[in-house]
Structure 1
Amino acid sequence: MSATAPLRLHDSTLGRFVDWLARTRGLDFTDYEQLRRWSVADLSGFWSAVKEFLGVPFRTGHTEVLANEKMPGAEWFPGVETNFADGLLSTSGATRAAVVTISEDGSTETLTHHEFRRQVATLARSLRRLGVIRGDRVVGYLPNIGQAAVAFYATASLGAIWASVGADYAPEAATARLAQLSPKVLISVDGYRFAGTARDQRDAVASLRTSLAPEHTVIVSRLGLPVGDDDLDWGDVTVGDANLEPVAVPFGHPLWVLFSSGTTGLPKGIVHGHGGIQLEMYKTLRLHWDLYPDSRVLWATSPSWVLWNILVSVPLVGATAVLYDGSPTFPDTAALWRTVSAHQITHFGTSPGFLAATERGGTEPGRRFDLSSLRQIISTGSPLPASAALWAEDHVGKHIPVVSISGGTDVVGAFAGGAPTVPVRPGELPAGCLGVALESWDERGRPITGDVGELVVTRPMPSMPVAFWGDESGERYRDTYFSTYPGVWRHGDWITITDWHSVVVHGRSDATLNRNGVRLGSADIYHAVEDLPEVAEALVVGAEMSDGGYWMPLFVVLRDGTELDDELGHRLRDTIRRRASPRHVPDDIYAVPGIPHTKTGKKLEVPIKRLLQGAAPDTVITPSAVDRPELLQFFTRLANDRGSSA
């Protein structure tokens, strides 16, 4: 089966885009890869076509698309003015849902496009009265709820800058991020519910109020708790009617600040611009995800994660963003599938971890629920093993593609993912994304196919950051992405681009396993061992030791009632040998109580590696950036024990 397919096989926006290019530009493409290559070769032609065909609402016309191609520092659409919130003015169907919030108990809050615009307009008016002007910062300490989306758009409409973290963040972790911005307004909740438990956040909000020192605090009542006398009530600042009148800002004017994981030191504040994110969202949501006004996108995410920013962009194209507020596995692993069925979800965003949890829980979604509305499952967060895709094919539905995407907070989008006209192979990302000059490079900086290399982007993307917050010289920005290959974006992932143009992601390159000069991907080991019924999760690192040796231990979290005896250890090694290679077999295997992650769910491969090499914990990891910091003690003790033995 070829990974390139005729574009007119399906009735899709992408297919109509190609027809339009043929009629208006004289361009003829017979498969997706031809289109993708053109989109990279002619960046100006592609992005001007995206703007025109999809109706991206810029305020002013343009005479030039890409003024210079230098990375960093590319200048897109010079002189153009816009506002990210302008898209809300062009959506039709006032009575259709724009944003739906679904709670764990099944209760639903719906904002139609008309009501969503009204709340955005009235909150913008209130923020303006509170003194918020262009360039000021408004920050959120909120769960995945409609009020968070309203707050973001209201902030953007004023030309102010938005930033948020989930209400589940500890105050010190939230402060480490939001205090960098010196916000004028804090918007928070009194509490939230997660896994069936009500969580009072008033003390956390009081702590944030002290550390951030905002001029004003707005409280969204979720638990009905009394709040401070000086706090403003959400209902009061969104009352009445107002006209939504977004201010015009330059193409690269800061829209929001997203944050890196902050596993070492202060989290980096990644700044994106209005125009670049507009273009990326319209391209992603219409050409890649194929959204229409009747589309409903569900994602159980958090305002701490870039997927939330993509999710709340869905109303721009007239579709419905469905925000799930709560634990995705409460009261059982059928909870989200039940929601997909009940709310006629067309696009379900999830992760390999959730699919694995569903399988372990014995849920068979395709048999238990009516999933006839579902057109696509989109998976990200970590590489999707072929076994998970095959499980979904058998237990969700053979007609529902499971599309794995890979990108990042850095670009608010994907480097590789799916397209309506490209078939899906289990274990692979179907194709490189349009407008992304994606390549895999060897250690000499040469493009390679069919082998593992560094993920690089050789030409600019409009959604690349405009800056890092507080990085006046740009040195930190340049060092993060461009220090390895000057002028070329190095993302930090190992990938293979296949002969049929799909992409396989092997894991972070800074956590690469390198035995005797052979690079190995940690994801290949995870795919092997995490399929075993005894293993809940695994982590592997490769550590260069001070004596010149190389140590590659595997850590496994075992299911209840399972012990790591000789028989299981042998089976783990044999499985890795068969499904990956003999080189992937670890030196040692340890059973651990849990695997530590960043707050966005990424395994802490590099910090654990450094701990095992003997680094002091406070030099490699910030505890507030870790979901369960107490788990780090095991690895520190192991490093000390090995050092004592040596």
Structure 2
Amino acid sequence: MTLKPQPPILWSPDEERKERANLTAFTRWVREHRGVDAPDYEALWRWSVTDLEGFWSAIWEYYRVRAATPYTTVLASDAMPGAVWFPGATLNYAEHIFRDRDPSAVAIRHASELRPLTEWTWGELRTRTAAIAAALRSLGVGPGDRVVAYLPNIAEATAAFLACAAIGATWSSCSPDFGVRSVLDRFAQIEPKVLLAVDGYRYGGKDFDRRDVLKALRDGMPSLQHTVVLPYLGCGPVADTLSWAEFEAAGEGAELEFTPLPFDHPLWVLYSSGTTGLPKAIVHGHGGILLEQLKNLHLHLDAHADDRVFWFTTTGWMMWNFLVSVLLTDASIVLYDGSPAYPDLGVLWDLAERAGITIFGTSAGYLANCRKAGIHPTGGRNLSALHAIGSTGSPLSPDEFAWCYQEFGSDLWLFSTSGGTDICSCLVGGVPTLPVYQGEIQARSLGMAVASWDSAGNELVGEVGELVVTRPAPSMPLYFWGDKDGSRLRDSYFSMYPGVWRHGDWIEITDRGTAIIYGRSDSTINRGGVRMGTSEIYRSVLALEEVIDALVVDVPQSDGSSRIELFVVLRENTVLDDDLVRRIKQGIREDCSPRHVPDGIQAIPAVPRTLSGKVLEVPVKRILMGEPPERVVSRDSLANPEALDYFVHQSRDA
């Protein structure tokens, strides 16, 4: 194996930063109370994935998890799938959100295209949550009933979720930009009793009335008994529904009570991207999410009482659940509902200044767009409070790493993460006591037995392989809703390596313990035994200023060969001439390999993406192979469904 050169270190925590880190205090505690001597992060990680019972019980004890009844053992079964965690314990996720809170302290700062920046104190959040919980109970909602939300990322959505958690109802949400079919594909599976919704929303300066959508949703979910509508856009009343004001008034003055629930009682249902078939309805439990997020948000995000944590997300992406869970720490959270590019790409940086954001979370795509658009976040803004930027959603390229340090300086902690909806957390991500290498994720997350494997199940170091998780973790799915025999769950994660979780990403674990994600393994391009993640090709292509977006697929041909087809979105007033084609191919040849130079390059109007921003590589590939588009993708699950038309027409013309 040829050793690759070590990338430059862009940031290293100073001694003061290390000493302040929650991780440092936890490491000392496990040494003093558990006899675990971990001289460095790698040693602590090794302990966390070999002694699962010791590690997760330490998280339980260190963060003073409250249980109405105690657990009998930490891990009754370590089978995957089917691990049984903390049997006997009864607890409530929401109780841990609200314990020991100063009613006058700020819990949430929120803004949108419709609302100015506003604050909710812990006292107001508790009052509003208690009213919603009492109102839900008055509608007959109890433990195990499903409440679905067609709500934007606003404070009311947070209160509604916490109310559901408090009474033991199971929560599920979609953002109001989801179309009817996409929402029904998700919500109808779980047969909800109550729908919480808005009448409309504003995005990119445009108003969208959703009252007709609400009617279609109600018609498509016969299990619904009640619909509650928040007049967010002010479109007018919706017939046969409860107004939000009436709804909360029904529980006005109620005390917030928490129902003790089994450790594996369903907390929420999340969904896969829904690009093929019905989305997987992924069920997570109160206890598993509580422990995972206590660990992740304290030890990896390193949230403190003086932090104001923001992540750009909608209620249809697991990062919303992640952001709300930050309230398990002493930090406050910042919400935003609206376009990240309206009136321009500086809008979120403006919010960071106004809200005093200290930890700014976003997507790799947003950072890349800012770089290419020539945005200077600190130009004319006071962002002195901002000390950390987090990135997720897709691999963060070395160019974006370099851009962030050029713009913010050497004191910035930039951490890239990767995990997903499946675990509602990170498999690899930030560590506040480790250096940041350009283009790399800092480390494997505590309690996540992540490895890179070849097709035969051999562990790889310094080479690209399948991302696997070899031991169970508490926030792995309890089950998929409706998957009575568990076959869909097994097929999704355990079909390639029985008993071992295969995540579906290509990953490299370096000899320094850092990680590099190379894209989805089901869309990786294999040429002559050399496998290339699509992110590597994108990194090369998007380095050209003329190219602002791209999609690459490897399309099998009837003769047994395949063609690499690259589709590019060009900057305005740019044409795909012979010179640009030559430079694209030359870049891929030099940056990736000669084997992976595209057979064809075409300019397209836009790259089709899901509502959460993921590129539709596999569905486009299947369409170009001749499969009917309605069988491979739900147009309602797309942020820009018209972008798919180019590929549909090309397939028909072939």
User: Conserved in 2, the CA contact under 8 Å of 1:88 and 1:117?
Assistant: no
- Post-superposition offset of 1:183: 1.1
State which of 176, 185, 188 in structure 1 corresponds to 2:194. Answer: 185
Report matched runs for 1:446-525 at 5 Å: 446-525=458-537
User: Conserved in 1, the CA contact under 8 Å of 2:109 and 2:355?
Assistant: no
- Post-superposition offset of 1:565: 0.1
What does residue 257 of structure 1 align with?
269
Report matched runs for 1:384-395 at 5 Å: 384-395=396-407
- Any idea what the Cα deviations from partners look like across 1:411-467, whole Å, max 9, x if unmatched? 000100011101111211110000000000001111000111000000001000001
Q: Distance in 1 between matches of 2:239 and 2:601?
A: 56
Report matched runs for 1:227-266 at 5 Å: 227-239=237-249, 240-266=252-278
Is residue 382 of structure 1 aligned with residue 417 of structure 2?
no
- Any idea what the Cα deviations from partners look like across 1:386-414, whole Å, max 9, x if unmatched? 10010010013321122110000000001
Letter aligned with residue 154 of structure 1: A
Q: Distance in 2 between matches of 1:183 and 1:40?
A: 37
- Any idea what the Cα deviations from partners look like across 1:492-526, whole Å, max 9, x if unmatched? 00011001010000000001101122111110011
- Post-superposition offset of 1:59: 2.8
Q: Distance in 1 between matches of 2:378 and 2:317?
A: 29
User: Conserved in 1, the CA contact under 8 Å of 2:229 and 2:238?
Assistant: no
Give secondary structure in 1 for the equivalent of 2:269.
strand
- Any idea what the Cα deviations from partners look like across 1:7-58, whole Å, max 9, x if unmatched? 9833211000011112111222111111111100111111111111122333
What does residue 22 of structure 1 align with?
31
User: Conserved in 2, the CA contact under 8 Å of 1:57 and 1:82?
Assistant: yes
Alpha-carbon distance change, 388 to 223 in structure 1, aligned in 2, over 3 angstroms: same
What does residue 355 of structure 1 align with?
367
Q: Distance in 2 between matches of 1:421 and 1:618?
A: 48
- Any idea what the Cα deviations from partners look like across 1:99-148, whole Å, max 9, x if unmatched? 22211366023211111111111111010010101111100001111111
Q: Distance in 2 between matches of 1:463 and 1:497?
A: 23
Is residue 123 of structure 1 aligned with residue 129 of structure 2?
no
User: Conserved in 1, the CA contact under 8 Å of 2:70 and 2:89?
Assistant: yes
User: Conserved in 2, the CA contact under 8 Å of 1:380 and 1:406?
Assistant: yes
Q: Distance in 2 between matches of 1:169 and 1:57?
A: 37
User: Conserved in 2, the CA contact under 8 Å of 1:364 and 1:396?
Assistant: no
What does residue 444 of structure 1 align with?
456
What does residue 168 of structure 1 align with?
177
What does residue 207 of structure 2 align with?
198
Is residue 145 of structure 1 aligned with residue 154 of structure 2?
yes
Report matched runs for 1:28-107 at 5 Å: 28-104=37-113, 107=116
Give secondary structure in 2 for the equivalent of 1:367.
coil
Letter aligned with residue 506 of structure 1: Y
Q: Distance in 2 between matches of 1:123 and 1:237?
A: 7
Structure 1: gaps (5+ residues): none
Q: Distance in 2 between matches of 1:56 and 1:576?
A: 51
Q: Distance in 2 between matches of 1:229 and 1:263?
A: 33
User: Conserved in 2, the CA contact under 8 Å of 1:10 and 1:420?
Assistant: no
What does residue 435 of structure 1 align with?
447
- Post-superposition offset of 1:531: 2.1
User: Conserved in 2, the CA contact under 8 Å of 1:541 and 1:554?
Assistant: yes
Q: Distance in 2 between matches of 1:258 and 1:431?
A: 26
Letter aligned with residue 238 of structure 2: G
State which of 304, 318, 331 in structure 2 corresponds to 1:319. Answer: 331
Report matched runs for 1:582-593 at 5 Å: 582-593=594-605
The runs of 4+ residues in structure 1 deviating greater than 6 Å are 1-8
Alpha-carbon distance change, 39 to 542 in structure 1, aligned in 2, over 3 angstroms: same
Is residue 300 of structure 1 aligned with residue 306 of structure 2?
no
- Post-superposition offset of 1:5: 8.8
State which of 154, 168, 171 in structure 2 corresponds to 1:159. Answer: 168
Q: Name which of structure 1's ranges 626-635 and 38-47 shifts more when overlaid on structure 2.
A: 626-635
- Post-superposition offset of 1:77: 0.4
Letter aligned with residue 507 of structure 1: G
Letter aligned with residue 60 of structure 1: T
Q: Name which of structure 1's ranges 463-472 and 525-534 shifts more when overlaid on structure 2.
A: 525-534
- Any idea what the Cα deviations from partners look like across 1:590-626, whole Å, max 9, x if unmatched? 1111111122111111111112222222332222222
Q: Distance in 1 between matches of 2:40 and 2:606?
A: 45
- Post-superposition offset of 1:66: 0.6
What does residue 541 of structure 1 align with?
553
User: Conserved in 2, the CA contact under 8 Å of 1:555 and 1:592?
Assistant: yes
Q: Distance in 1 between matches of 2:119 and 2:378?
A: 27
Give secondary structure in 1 for the equivalent of 2:379.
helix
User: Conserved in 2, the CA contact under 8 Å of 1:98 and 1:318?
Assistant: no
Structure 2: gaps (5+ residues): 1-7
Q: Distance in 2 between matches of 1:89 and 1:396?
A: 35
Q: Distance in 2 between matches of 1:576 and 1:526?
A: 9
- Post-superposition offset of 1:266: 1.1
Letter aligned with residue 642 of structure 2: E
What does residue 5 of structure 2 align with?
none
Q: Distance in 1 between matches of 2:58 and 2:576?
A: 57
User: Conserved in 1, the CA contact under 8 Å of 2:102 and 2:122?
Assistant: yes
Alpha-carbon distance change, 613 to 106 in structure 1, aligned in 2, over 3 angstroms: same
- Post-superposition offset of 1:372: 1.2
Q: Name which of structure 1's ranges 415-424 and 317-326 shifts more when overlaid on structure 2.
A: 317-326
Report matched runs for 1:255-294 at 5 Å: 255-294=267-306
User: Conserved in 1, the CA contact under 8 Å of 2:93 and 2:165?
Assistant: yes
Aligned-pair RMSD on alpha carbons?
1.7
Q: Distance in 1 between matches of 2:67 and 2:368?
A: 42
What does residue 532 of structure 1 align with?
544
User: Conserved in 2, the CA contact under 8 Å of 1:142 and 1:148?
Assistant: yes
- Post-superposition offset of 1:223: 2.1
Alpha-carbon distance change, 224 to 105 in structure 1, aligned in 2, over 3 angstroms: closer
What does residue 566 of structure 1 align with?
578
Is residue 220 of structure 1 aligned with residue 230 of structure 2?
yes
- Post-superposition offset of 1:314: 1.5
Give secondary structure in 2 for the equivalent of 1:313.
helix
User: Conserved in 2, the CA contact under 8 Å of 1:91 and 1:317?
Assistant: no
Alpha-carbon distance change, 547 to 640 in structure 1, aligned in 2, over 3 angstroms: farther
Q: Name which of structure 1's ranges 525-534 and 445-454 shifts more when overlaid on structure 2.
A: 525-534
State which of 615, 637, 646 in structure 2 corresponds to 1:603. Answer: 615
Q: Distance in 2 between matches of 1:269 and 1:105?
A: 31
What does residue 344 of structure 2 align with?
332
User: Conserved in 2, the CA contact under 8 Å of 1:298 and 1:348?
Assistant: yes
Give secondary structure in 2 for the equivalent of 1:28.
coil
Alpha-carbon distance change, 10 to 581 in structure 1, aligned in 2, over 3 angstroms: farther
- Post-superposition offset of 1:578: 2.3
- Any idea what the Cα deviations from partners look like across 1:62-94, whole Å, max 9, x if unmatched? 341111100000000010001111113314222
- Post-superposition offset of 1:638: 2.7
Q: Distance in 1 between matches of 2:351 and 2:153?
A: 15
Q: Distance in 2 between matches of 1:64 and 1:243?
A: 33
Q: Distance in 1 between matches of 2:135 and 2:653?
A: 59
- Post-superposition offset of 1:175: 1.2
Letter aligned with residue 243 of structure 2: D
Alpha-carbon distance change, 615 to 582 in structure 1, aligned in 2, over 3 angstroms: same
Task: State percent identity of aligned pairs.
Answer: 48
What does residue 3 of structure 2 align with?
none
